[in-house]
Structure 1
């Protein structure tokens, strides 16, 4: 099921529109959010000594009401408001008064806490999604103090200090064990450093209607095999890459395509590598790359070009010829029925070639990491890192195709889609930061395209499948290799 993702400004607007339809009152949303948070974490909170840290805004208001509910549930809770009390007349002030009515007391300074080591859980309601300036002064000191406290942190809507739109700390942020969000996921919780700061994410929309074209879509729906079938009905994948010192990249992509369900897989390489390829996967078919024809384009056969391709030589020449053939097909009038509209995946060195070529890449899935994205856009890499969402949208616009921006919280964007143009893929693990992981993903996506998924859905499904396998393996392994992922691909997705 797709779940909405929004910027902080869009969430604010959704709240205002909800209020207009409900007597202009946002108080019920605060009450419902507090009840939702307590319900979500009650099994963790019972019997614990809870430190509740609240801000002076409406995120702090959620915290005050949460504190009142915890007192009603007979849970030990100590509430600290290091940034001062809420302004009179806002929902947060009303929640503060309700907390006092339930017998709660407010401590004004974290330094006034006695025996901070007694706390086992911290509830973070200090800053909400509206934080837009770098932290300083008391706010910065409060977060530094909390980061030193040895407790599990449960964040209300977003961990304090995290930019809700970009996923960047400002300049530091709390690292939560779990984060419970409201109305929509905030874009910054799902990409860049957001996933590592948010922990386990959950969402309650509070029944607020949203109209975002950004979504979090965690499901993996793989092509099904039924009835009387044979391998040719499941498409094929050609893998072109593998310079002598980088042959492993092409082998990884080919093996991933094979085990992701492509009916046939051809590896185009120098004959000296045939034995290595057959020892890895004897089902792979082999072709001398010097004999590869650039015109080998059809609707059922997809390409992976780039892993280990190198930046000059026969592979790059063939890539240029292929783009010339595609341009001829696209300008052909009338188009022949068998002319393909989706060609496969460009990765690694093929992206470096594309960045210099001046071509668009309609019909290809581009799978850059941040460095390759910077080259494709002629941006400094820091600009990509500071706003991954803007970068992936610019890539899709510039190259007129579907783009996967890899990294923590991978993004899939196709601006040609009428809706759901940007999908956040939250799964994955730092354990996957190993050689060949991108080559593996390229092979998976191409195999899904060969089996009938369009480029956009193949990219979303491939990224989620790849990430979920890696995250599952990371629960038992400190390091996850591409070969570990490939070994799990024949099994059913979770």
Structure 2
């Protein structure tokens, strides 16, 4: 797990570091540049490197990186499309040292022949839309079609929200410093950063936010004399008339994720299809839940619809059960918003918008803030699905292992809901189950995406039975 800090907190840590070093951040720039060169030394060796340097201190990193590469006899040149830095910041000194080492500069990107590009145009402090030369430069970098290695963050990516401003450099790799930033881990961040690595530069943060850099299993194990009932009862409620598929996906994923017994409460038209898919499931008439809901963990919502029966089921289960609320159950909650402590909410952006009474565009504009607001409003654990899934509670944030765009297929959320519900039924706390479930689901999907054009929920479900393969 890597530490995540807001941009403001990172800037404060830099100021504190400077106050302990005679008020200067020069040593930090040098350390960051050395770390960047060391990280990609093998990639740069024997290749022509073009560094695109801005006129701020991120550009200073670029100048010093170029100087270090010159000292290693790497063929390097620097483009300064935004001009040179002013003489009152560290970047000016870095520029002078690069020139003193014999470095060459040119305002035009196209002037240098290069095999790869180092993006040192803008850093994490960028908080305004690009315009003029900056907008043109980022667009040209992407059109060069070169492998791009970003210093701290791809230029044009908002470090707090992960939103492009309005365009951003598409990097194959990013080496960031001090801590991960939220915008690198959600929205457009995971796709634009490429392979993301961190060097804290020896600076310690007190932030409790964490990022799962890889899947680290914390799945319930079975030991000794045991019985299926000791591994949790999970009740999947949904699949009303003509919508059985979603509930069947949820139930089969829960079964394969290890729940001891899985009961599928759906319309009777779905029973035969469910048993044909997984005869280990136990089917129940959904109407019986209105009488006395059995004990256990629940996943409610997949394929439930918005009928009067769905509303009755939601109203009966809400105060009596705990577990996962997904899909149509979230729409019902949005219509009658109340705190739902003990439930894990798993909205995608449209459902999150309904829950907060805003638009999907509002959610996309700041996924982190939206996840925090949802957790606060509903006083529970929230899984805000999408690129760079966020798990939020009233006290904490977890940025989860990224999946793959090939996973954008029907039923994927139903599969995730079943996994999380299964882990809760097996004894994990809701937040633990949410983080473990999201990371497990994303890990499997990402592995499949390396050899498949699309990844379906039905591709992931069989793999849940296997011992997790952590090989890259």
Aligned to 1:31: 30
Alignment of 1:322-471 (within 5 A): 322-325=317-320, 343-415=322-394, 417=395, 421-471=396-446
| Superposition TM-score, scaled by structure 1 size | 0.92
With 7-16 and 472-481 compared, the bigger mean Cα shift is at 7-16
1:162, 1:96 → 2: CA distance?
24
Residue in structure 2 matched with residue 170 of structure 1 by the alignment: 165
For 2:94, the equivalent position in structure 1 comes to: 95
CA deviation digits over 1:147-195, x for unaligned, max 9? 1102100100000111111111111111000111000111101101111
Kindly indicate whether the alpha-carbon contact (under 8 Å) linking 1:361 and 1:399 is maintained by their aligned counterparts in 2: yes
Q: 1:492 aligns with which of 446, 454, 467?
A: 467
- Alpha-carbon distance between aligned partners in 1 of 2:446 and 2:320, rounded to the nearest angstrom: 40
Paired residues of 1:355 and 1:377 also in contact (CA < 8 A): yes
3-state DSSP class of the match of 2:242? Answer: helix
Contact 2:241-2:269 at 8 Å conserved across structures: no
Question: Is 1:75 paired with 2:62?
Answer: no
Gaps spanning 5+ residues in structure 1: where?
Answer: 327-342
- C-alpha separation in 1, matches of 2:290 and 2:427: 23
Contact 1:166/1:387 (CA < 8 Å) preserved in 2? yes
Q: Contact 2:337/2:355 (CA < 8 Å) preserved in 1?
A: no
SS at match of 1:489: helix
Query: How far apart, in 2, do the equivalents of 1:134 and 1:345 lie?
Result: 38
**Distance (Å, rounded) in 2 between the aligned partners of 1:352 and 1:56:** 48
The answer on whether the counterparts of 2:349 and 2:360 sit within 8 Å (CA) in structure 1 is: yes
Give distance in 1, aligned partners of 2:301 and 2:208. Answer: 31
Asked if the contact 2:5–2:179 (Cα under 8 Å) also holds between the matched residues in 1, the reply is: yes
The match for 2:237 among 236, 240, 243 is: 240
Distance 1:199 1:400 in 2: 34
RMSD: 1.4
Distance of 1:243 and 1:322 partners within structure 2: 16
Tell me what 1:321 maps to. Answer: 316
Task: Tell me if structure 2 keeps the 8 A contact 1:191–1:426.
Answer: no
Residue of structure 1 in register with 2:64 after alignment: 65
Moved over 4 A (4+): none
Contact (CA 8 Å) 2:115, 2:147: kept in 1 or not?
yes
Task: State the partner residue of 2:145.
Answer: 150
Stretches of structure 2 that go unaligned for 5 or more consecutive residues are: none
205-214 vs 404-413, greater mean Cα deviation: 205-214
Pair 1:192 & 2:167 matched:
no
